[in-house]
């Protein structure tokens, strides 16, 4: 498979300033020497606790954050789904306007809604009129309106309850198959990534501490930090494909 995203020695350092003249006394190394690739047709899970650098990484790939150094090579278009669906939607815009703006005359708003499992009757409503799960479906519809090759999901299900979370994960897997997408799935929850990722990279303090096939990493973690994440989620101990 060819690579849609290739990251080489990526660094994102934020200066720590002090004093009247804001002298730089150090740096917060949010991302520090990260390298990996996302292949066409795969789902890569990026896992780590809050502050590990995974969301900063996503923002750099999406063009929302400038890197301090390193290389980002993109082999296709990027769509992005954020953690907070209500906060990422314009409350003054109807669903129709939101999707029309994103597609720029491409895909029809009605088709986009149907693709994510919503009825066309939602087109002329506003974000506050929907549940959290419905709003996230609208955000996914907006993300696929740009006809992406890669969909970045940054904690896209963490704000949802367990039942809705499962439905959104199923939707993302279905869209990956139907639309030929690759997914970069960012989460702090190994219990979630277990059910969607082909490969995993584990981040800790801005660095990648482990990378590999999803099943191998969860069954035989090599890094102590990965083991600590697994131990915090009892269901991870269940064989993949088994009943939790």
Q: Which pLDDT tens digit goes with each residue over 88-100?
A: 999 999 999 999 9
* Regions of the chain where pLDDT drops below 50: 237-244
Q: What are the distances in angstroms from CA 201 to CA 81, 144, 217?
A: 19, 24, 9
Name residue, tokens 């088709």.
111
> What residues form DSSP beta bridges with 7?
36, 72
The confidence score (pLDDT) of residue 47 equals 95
Please give the Cα distance from 28 to 76 (Å, whole number).
30
- pLDDT for 74: 96
pTM of the model: 0.90
* Cα distance between residue 124 and residue 107, in whole Å: 17
Measured CA to CA, the distance from residue 31 to residue 36 in angstroms comes to: 13
């Amino acid at each position: 498979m060819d690579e849609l995203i290739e990251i080489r020695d990526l660094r994102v350092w934020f200066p720590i300033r002090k004093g009247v003249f804001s002298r730089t006394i150090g740096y917060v190394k949010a991302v520090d020497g990260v390298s990996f690739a996302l292949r066409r047709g795969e789902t890569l899970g990026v896992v780590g606790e809050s502050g590990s650098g995974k969301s900063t990484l996503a923002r750099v790939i999406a063009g929302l954050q400038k890197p301090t150094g390193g290389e980002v090579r993109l082999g296709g278009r990027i769509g992005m789904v954020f953690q907070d669906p209500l906060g990422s939607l314009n409350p003054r815009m109807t669903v129709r306007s939101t999707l029309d703006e994103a597609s720029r005359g491409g895909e029809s708003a009605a088709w986009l809604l149907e693709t994510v499992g919503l009825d066309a009757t939602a087109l002329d409503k506003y974000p506050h009129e929907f549940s959290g799960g419905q709003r996230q479906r609208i955000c996914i519809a907006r993300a696929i309106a740009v006809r992406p090759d890669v969909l970045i999901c940054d904690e896209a299900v963490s704000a949802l309850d367990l039942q809705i979370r499962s439905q959104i994960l199923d939707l993302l897997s279905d869209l990956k198959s139907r639309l030929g997408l690759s997914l970069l799935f960012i989460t702090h929850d190994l219990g979630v990534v277990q059910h969607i990722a082909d490969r995993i990279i584990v981040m800790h303090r801005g660095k990648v501490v482990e990378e590999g096939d999803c099943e191998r990493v969860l069954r035989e973690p090599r890094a102590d930090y990965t083991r600590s994440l697994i131990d915090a989620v009892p269901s991870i101990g269940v064989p993949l494909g088994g009943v939790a």
